[in-house]
Amino acid sequence: MFHLAVMLLFPWANSGNGVEQPPPPKAATALPAPLTLTARQDHQLMLEQQKIPASVMRRGPDGMNRNSPNYQNTDEAKANPWPQLPEMMVTKNRQPVTTPELWWRVRRPEIVEYFDAEVYGRVPRDVPKVTWAAAPPDEDRGGGRGFGGRSDNPTVPTITKRLVGRVDNSAYPAIAVGIRLTLILPAKANGPVPVIVDFGGGGGQRQYLARGWGYAFLNPNNIQADSGAGLTRGIIGLVNKGQPRKPEDWGSLRAWAWGASRALDYLETDAAVDAKHVGISGLSRYGKAALVAMAYEPRFAIALVGSSGEGGAKLHRRYWGEQVENLTGSGEYHWMSGSFLKYGGPLAPCDLPVDAHELIALCAPRPTFISYGASTGPGAEGTWVDQKGSFMAAVAAGPAYKLLGKKDLGATTMPPVETALVDGELAWRMHKGGHTTGPNLDTFVTWAARYIKNGSSPAAPSSQPPSAAANPSATPTTGTPAVVPVRSNTVAGAGQAVARTDRNSQIAHRQLVDKAKKGRIAIYFIGDSITRRWGATDYPDFLANWNRNFHGWHAANFGWGGDTIQNILWRLQNGELDGVNPKIIVVMAGTNNLGGRPDSSDREAKVTEVVKGFETILNRCRQKAPEAVILLMGITPRNDRPSFLPTIAQSNEHIARLADGKMVRYLNINDKLADKAGVLLPGMSPDRLHLSEKGYQVWADSLRPIFTEILGPSAKVDLAPPPTGDPSAADRSG
């Protein structure tokens, strides 16, 4: 039989990634070519993995042929066979969610885990990195090779950048993935501008440019094909080395959302873009992708979710229009994880542990606009997308928005066509047209302008860092906008990643990347030498203090001496946080960015650099570990350079404003280390810069109550990876 042959030729066992292992003989290194399957064959393999007989899979309704005996239900009397939705505001252990902290710390991660395990699948820990560059000339003509969007506009002069994010395929060269992104910006902007990233060309370019915003077209099919036959290729196939998925592996919707996050990585490095105000939009299946991207990626500031239907904003439990059984059939199953298939066969939609209201709630408190066309009338969208089921989901998501201090829809009855609900962060409008967001775009832009601050307005302050490129609208021409190797301590923009190129730092980086793959890390410390010395093997007294304070909390130290904020950002972008998923991240940084003249003009520039750098690190940590509580430490006093003290105080004031008191917190221990004038207290520092064991104990005493609050008491056994040290110290000892 076909499936037996596949199992024999392409076993499921993981063959390993060969990291830091000597290469075997050339013949043994050959990897099999990508497996070529039809969607039906791949669908059948997924059923067999889960021991689900094809005979128990229910057929989805027909959405087109009204004469079909299996035509979709449009009878409201039959539409709600399972009216009870999963309880969103109660934890798994039945604790009511009554505080934002409980939502962020407990309930939201529980909901994310359900969606990962049962609906959209898990993004693998080892997804290769993406390097962004300007598209080569042969790929940059006429919108070819997956590029979209037109740079001409009748009223707004524009600049167009066509970019390719190439995914590292060195582990499996048989599959190449290049993410195509077309970025269209107003040519006469006075500063960085907000950008709406649009999946699949759903529209809005004219409205966004007229408002002074940018428009980015992201081609989802360059990330992952929209077909079950494509699952052994694209980014999913690349990670799986051309072999079929396992049940909990990600589907196309999650892969497209991953691609949107990688596009956002690039936009964060473009000085012409206001990266704090980047939105995501999409229509139909790409509306589903936009909602998934908004739910999983906290850096997206706003979303326009167009006609997303089943698998998007529509309740799975609603028996109306498209159904779960359509998504579990061979035509659409690739959007979802393989584990989702069981809900169209041996299990029913009512068995799902989550529903669409909880997907919308994951977007909270950020503004999210649900858009549909009319169900009836001339040129209407029709009933397949179940407008009412999506409205019901949005209503049911409201408690999460209200808990987080935002407004819900403000109504529980679906309003008439072309009546907008736009008073809060959760918004709704159903236009009288068809399967498009077009007639809702003007309403969306007006509503969104309340939340998106337009950086191109002459009256608006620029968020461009002082050291950004003088010509922010120029098309990038070199390899990796997000990762620019520059010599250690070279001055760079605060949001720019800078590699340490000295041999010792490169060895240390490789050790820390390896460390990130070991053990279980619940608390992740990142920083410079003030952090590093605490948990390093070459400072045994400080390491002993570390162990006394943090044993059983699975804490790991990823500090490296001499790092600027830019160096730390490079390390975060290049594997040291990949796949770690800590519960807490502690950031101590900035002291190595304070060099220069002590006069007031330089102070302002340094403060701007430090604060922008902290913000970039914060965004990167959110992207790499979206469920972690991030603890930003105030820069500690420096008595080796007393002239830096005003800069430190001013920087700390601004860093504190980055915290929301929930998932991002700020901790300043300077009043326990120094007097009011900033003079370090006796015994706190051996060199007027770094901390002594007494100083580290002050830091630990401030951290331990926070760790207990978030993680509970420390365990008897510690599962963190072994500590590391300065490689050159090992060389000297030898």
Tens of pLDDT, residue by residue over 659-684, are 988 899 999 999 999 999 999 999 99
What integer is the mean pLDDT of 477-492? Answer: 31
pLDDT band at 470 (very low <50, low <70, confident <90, very high): very low
Q: What global pTM score does this model have? A: 0.64
> Which range, 368-377, 462-471, 617-626, is most confident?
368-377
From CA 183, how far away is CA 218, in angstroms rounded? 9
What are the structure tokens assigned to 574, written together?
């290049």
**E strand or H helix at 211:** helix 205-211
Phi and psi at 665, nearest 5°, equal -125, 160
- pLDDT band for position 19 (50/70/90)? very low
Q: Which of 134-148, 299-313, 470-484 has the highest mean pLDDT?
A: 299-313
Evaluate whether 530 touches 633 at the Cβ level (below 8 Å). Answer: no
Cα angle 247, 71, 387 (rounded to 5 degrees) comes to 75
Phi (first) and psi of residue 372, to 5 degrees:
-145, 165
Q: Is the pLDDT of residue 26 over 70?
A: no
Which residues make Cβ contacts (< 8 Å) with residue 285, sequence separation at least 6?
A: 226, 253, 311, 335
pLDDT at 661: 87
Give the length of the chain.
734
User: Given a cut of 60, is residue 22 above it in pLDDT?
Assistant: no
Is the pLDDT at 20 greater than 70? The verdict is no
Nearest CA to 328 out of 352, 345, 313 is that of: 345
pLDDT at 459: 27
Q: How many CA atoms lie within 13 A of 284 on its CB side?
A: 14
Cβ neighbours of residue 145 under 8 Å, at least 6 residues apart?
A: 135, 139, 180
**What is the phi/psi pair of residue 342, to 5°?**
-65, -20
- Tell me what the mean pLDDT of segment 356-370 comes to: 98
> Given pLDDT bands bounded at 50, 70 and 90, which one contains residue 5?
very low
Phi and psi (nearest 5°) for 278?
A: -110, 125
Quick one: average pLDDT of 709-716?
Answer: 91
408: left (phi over 0), alpha (psi -120 to 50) or beta: beta
> Sheet holding 523-527: strands in order across?
555-559, 523-527, 584-588, 629-633, 664-667
Q: What is the mean pLDDT of residues 116-121?
A: 97
CB 438 within 8 A of CB 207: no
What integer pLDDT is reported at residue 454 of this predicted model? 62
Write the pLDDT tens digit of every residue in 45-69: 999 999 999 999 999 999 988 889 9
- Confidence (pLDDT) at 641: 86
Model confidence at 730, pLDDT cuts 50, 70, 90, reads low
Per-residue confidence (pLDDT) for residue 23, from 0 to 100: 44
Whether domain 503-733 has CATH 3.40.50.970: the reply is no
CA 197 to chain centre: 14
> Is it true that 106-124+191-212+226-448 and 503-733 share their CATH fold?
yes
Report cis status (omega within 30 of 0) of the bond before 472. Answer: no
∠ Cα 552 553 558 (to 5°): 120
SS3 percent helix, strand, coil of the chain, rounded to 5, is: 35, 15, 50
Q: Are 292 and 448 within 8 A, CB to CB? A: no
CA angle 122/124/128 to nearest 5° reads: 145
Closest to 638 in 3D by CA, of 627, 629, 647 = 647
Task: State what percent of residues in the chain have pLDDT above 70.
Answer: 86
At position 574, the amino acid (one-letter code) is N
Q: What is the 3-state secondary structure (H, E, C) of 273-313?
A: EEEEEEEEEEECHHHHHHHHHHHHCCCCCEEEEECCCCCCC
The torsion angles phi and psi of 280, rounded to 5 degrees, stand at -130, 140
Q: How many CB atoms lie within 10 A of CB 177?
A: 23
Chain-centre distance for alpha carbon 381: 32
DSSP count for the chain of H helices, then E strands = 22, 14
Give the CA angle between residues 506, 511, 513 to the nearest 5°.
95
- Looking at domain 106-124+191-212+226-448, its CATH superfamily turns out to be Alpha/Beta hydrolase fold, catalytic domain (3.40.50.1820)
- Which residues lie across from 215 on neighbouring strands? 184, 196
Report which of residues 24 and 163 the model is more confident about.
163
Quote the mean pLDDT of the chain. 87
Structure tokens at 34: 């990508």
pLDDT digits (tens, 9 = 90+) for 425-435: 999 999 999 99
| Res 15: pLDDT | 35
Average pLDDT of span 266-291: 96
Confidence of residue 44 (pLDDT cuts 50, 70, 90): very high
Burial of 83 (0-12, 13-18, 19+ CB in 10 A): exposed
| Helical packing angle, 540-550 and 693-711, nearest 10° | 30
Question: Is the predicted pLDDT of residue 173 greater than 50, yes or no?
Answer: yes
Amino acid at 512: L
Specify the pLDDT at position 398: 98
Per-residue confidence at 330, pLDDT binned at 50, 70, 90? very high
pLDDT on residue 669 = 97
pLDDT of residue 431: 97
Centroid of chain to Cα 621: 9
Q: Which of 327-341, 465-479, 651-665 has the lowest mean pLDDT?
A: 465-479
pLDDT recorded at residue 229: 96
* Inter-residue contact 321 to 71 (CB < 8 Å): no
Nearest CA to 290 out of 238, 319, 253 is that of 253
Give the start-to-end residue ranges of the domains of the chain.
106-124+191-212+226-448, 503-733
Task: Select the more confidently predicted residue: 640 or 5.
Answer: 640
Cα distance between residue 396 and residue 390, in whole Å: 10
| CA 313, 315, 318, 319 torsion-angle sign | positive
450 — pLDDT class (breaks 50, 70, 90): very high
* Rounded-to-integer distance, Cα 208 and Cα 194, Å: 9
What pLDDT score was predicted for residue 8? Answer: 30
What angle is formed at CA 704 by the lines to CA 700 and CA 706, rounded to 5 degrees? 125
Q: How confident is the model at residue 561 (pLDDT cuts 50, 70, 90)?
A: very high
Alpha carbons 272 and 476: distance in angstroms, whole number:
11
Instruction: Pull the structure tokens for residue 191.
Output: 């500063």
Q: Which helix (H) or strand (E) holds 58?
A: none
Do residues 424 and 408 lie in contact, with contact meaning Cβ atoms separated by under 8 Å? Answer: yes
Within a 10 A sphere around the Cβ of 47, how many other Cβ atoms? 23
Query: What CA–CA distance (Å, rounded) separates 171 from 313?
Result: 37
The backbone torsions φ and ψ at residue 517, rounded to the nearest 5 degrees and listed phi first, read: -90, -5
**Confidence check: pLDDT of 491 > 70:** no
pLDDT band at residue 463, thresholds of 50, 70 and 90? very low
Q: How far apart are CA 482 and CA 498, in angstroms?
A: 9
